[in-house]
A and B are shown apart, each in its own frame.
Chain A
């Protein structure tokens, strides 16, 4: 690895490993009066937080780097892991940099976590982000616009100034830019995955959950320049797979590394989907709040927590497999994750209609043993390579 890439990777790894969110504290202390707002997966309108002069901070659990001491006392064994590590982060004062938390409507665990937050931290700002499931601009659009209005007012109040349209337009420009480079990154990885291993891409993406968007865009650009210069990264006889189900509770990094070592190039995934949520640019002129509202209705990623009126579940996955010339799909869902696991049979059906091979396993953010997964992924990878060579 060249030194400049090594330096970049070291930086994003450090950000990933820092469970005290020191970078957020640093950002806040650069100027008095700065605020940071946390958000849970998957999607929140970060543009609004940014336009308020605040830093949106993705709270994605404690991964495999946090010992759960108190969090387990809040959740039964049959509930996924991310809420307990998130509570643990908060109870151990690791989220002190945050002036508020946003909980989007992705499942009942995160929904109820918003209520727990209200009870545990009554002095902090908490907002449940109720994303519309009706995609008619006059109906769901009106509702969502009103919800955005409230969020805008709330953030204005916390920040001590109203959010102007101009500021919001500028934020939209910044996030459009960021999403564009992320799309480029995904395209680049799909074209030449050996230059962009997912275990590294993930860290680069992940930096976008804690850094100001402008800075993150620069990092992604730099990574896009540097990664293809690595002479030691060569094409290998590996299978091309799409990875699905990791949109909320994060896989341990070791899991992504294991999949690659087992012979899988990951050519598409739903990791940190919220960063890439919009399929295209949000219009940069006109009424910015309305633009945000309509973009959600028309350009949202298709994922388990978003209703699809036409009932074509899985069409996006088949499309991704085809677009990325993937040979198979790995369903990799957190244990007890309702959205991912209830969705899975529908996605499987869509793949089977097209004869696309797939395999599945579950993980938890603190899974430490990967031998079984490695074996299963390895067998799958071998079998699909044989299949596509046949």
Chain B
């Protein structure tokens, strides 16, 4: 039933925000490339629970190995890196982000933009929502002997609540473990005012990001909140939370989406603008990166738009009201870490997705279950059933991987997506 739902406006549409993002990311990798000669210090850390405002308050440059890995996936470099890591004894069974990163390191640590990534001066192990993070940085610690590690253990929201002693524990670790190590590495004293002003900038950008994500409640949606969403979250989940550039990016993005909304335009896809929204979907789970465009195309070709996704919440659940709060700087960082999506209990994840299906008037939901990630994937089959029961909407289930192309079976996935959408169509027909 494949029929193209997109129309091209001249060439592929390029928005200002896209150019701005490219500039930001390119500039950041350039800065990393020059870091050693300029004497700037580099901190490796993870997206969930990242403490960008704090690192930036010490003028440290963040490196996010997960983002390097996904970019290597998009640039088709990951397969080689993974096999390099496997040659060095890393199991085929474990998270491919880790192997992609280690393989990249073994092959000279040339980043996704072709520039070398400097060795870390500190490994800031924000242990939030994923067990693998701990092993990942322990493995890197072996590669970078002498590099200090700062561990920040973030308790899991197992019963769906943030208990005050969780927050106290995190704040204490920030005071006794993280900040002293950041001071040591940077040679600068902790400056709370600087942190506060970064946090103020974060909250501004977060407001605009939430507006953008929630614009998908409109019918038709002006955005795709998954395939497009992963671009929108790039700066805020990466190195630019708490920076003026971050604020400017989200302001620009928001004004573009406002315009699209006013014009009743659909989302932009790699093949141009989607002109007919036929299905509104919620998606749980990360995307596949090695065939990202092909994967996206399987949806937009059918007129399927993702209106909400959980993956775009791994670096913070801003749409549920959380904002970085400059009046309580360390506590707010603690709350931020505690609230990242993969740190939520399974029942809380189901609640969230259920709300998304309703609030975003979705026709259906799909789970993209990735082999790499137990944090996301263990339990997703039960989530599927629970969501079906609670929403009365049938769910779709596909399996792939993040950056290991061996686990992206295009024909199979396309088939599943098409049958799923057909089923939604029939359901619609029956209801009419």
Contact = CB atoms under 8 A, between A and B. Distances in A.
B93 A78 contact: yes
B129 to A, nearest CB: 8
Nearest to A337: B93
Interface stretch (B205-213, B223-231, B274-282, B343-351): B343-351
A74 B177 contact: no
Contact of A342 (B135, B153, B173): B135
A335 interface: yes
Interface stretch (B3-11, B137-145, B240-248, B259-267): B137-145
Interface string B20-49: 000000000000000000000000000000
A343 B381 contact: no
Contact of B153 (A73, A127, A132, A362): A132
A339 to B, nearest CB: 7
Given A78-B93, A338-B95, A112 B346 contact: yes
Given A105-B156, A341-B93, A342-B94, A115 B177 contact: no
A116 interface: yes
Contacts of A146: 165
Given A76-B381, A339-B131, A111 B347 contact: no
B149 interface: yes
Nearest to B149: A311
Given A74-B381, A83-B378, A108 B89 contact: no
Interface stretch (A135-143, A193-201, A254-262): A135-143
Interface in A122-161: 127-128, 130, 132-134, 136, 138-140, 142-143, 146-147
Contacts of A105: 156
B420 interface: no
Contacts of B90: 345
A130 B155 contact: yes
A43 B394 CA distance: 39
A120 B135 contact: no
A118 interface: yes
B169 interface: yes
A337 B134 CA distance: 15
Contacts of B172: 138-139, 142
Given A78-B371, A342-B139, A118 B381 contact: no
A67 B91 CA distance: 28
A111 to B, nearest CB: 6
A115 B375 CA distance: 12
Contacts of B142: 311, 313, 346, 349
Contact of A338 (B131, B153, B382): B131
Interface in B346-378: 346-347, 349-350, 369, 371, 374-375, 377-378
B399 A76 contact: yes
Contacts of B159: 128
A280 B309 CA distance: 49
Contacts of B89: 344-345, 348
B346 A139 contact: no
A128 B156 contact: yes
Interface in B127-185: 127, 130-132, 134-136, 138-139, 141-142, 149, 151, 153, 155-156, 158-159, 165-166, 168-169, 172-173, 176-177
B23 to A, nearest CB: 36
A111 B132 CA distance: 13
Contacts of A311: 138, 141-142, 149
B380 interface: yes
A360 to B, nearest CB: 9
Contact of B380 (A76, A111, A119, A127): A76
B381 A108 contact: no
B113 to A, nearest CB: 28
A115 B173 contact: no
A202 B210 CA distance: 55
Contacts of B176: 136, 138-139
Contact of B158 (A114, A134, A142): A114
B127 A346 contact: no
A112 B374 contact: yes
B343 to A, nearest CB: 10
Interface residues of B, number: 51
Interface stretch (A29-37, A291-299, A301-309): A301-309
B138 A75 contact: no
B379 A116 contact: yes
A71 B427 CA distance: 30
A9 interface: no
B88 interface: yes
A115 B94 contact: no
B77 interface: no
A173 interface: no
Contacts of B155: 130, 143
A344 B90 CA distance: 8
Contacts of A107: 131, 374
A304 B149 CA distance: 17
Given A130-B156, A307-B134, A112 B94 contact: no
B97 to A, nearest CB: 12
Contacts of A79: 374, 377-378
B177 to A, nearest CB: 7
A196 B83 CA distance: 42
A308 B135 CA distance: 10
Nearest to B176: A139
Contacts of B136: 342
B98 interface: yes
Nearest to B175: A139
* A-B pairs, 9 with minimum CB distance: A115-B346, A128-B158, A342-B135, A133-B153, A341-B91, A143-B169, A112-B379, A108-B374, A112-B378
Given A76-B381, A304-B135, A342-B91, 15 more contacts: A75-B378, A76-B380, A79-B378, A105-B156, A108-B130, A109-B378, A111-B378, A112-B374, A113-B379, A115-B347, A119-B350, A142-B169, A307-B138, A311-B141, A345-B89
27 contacts: A74-B381, A78-B377, A79-B378, A105-B156, A108-B374, A108-B375, A108-B378, A111-B156, A114-B158, A115-B349, A118-B346, A128-B158, A132-B153, A133-B134, A133-B151, A134-B153, A139-B172, A139-B176, A140-B153, A142-B168, A307-B151, A309-B149, A335-B93, A342-B91, A342-B94, A343-B135, A345-B88
Interface of A: 73-76, 78-79, 83, 105-109, 111-116, 118-120, 127-128, 130, 132-134, 136, 138-140, 142-143, 146-147, 304-305, 307-309, 311, 313, 333, 335-339, 341-346, 348-349, 362
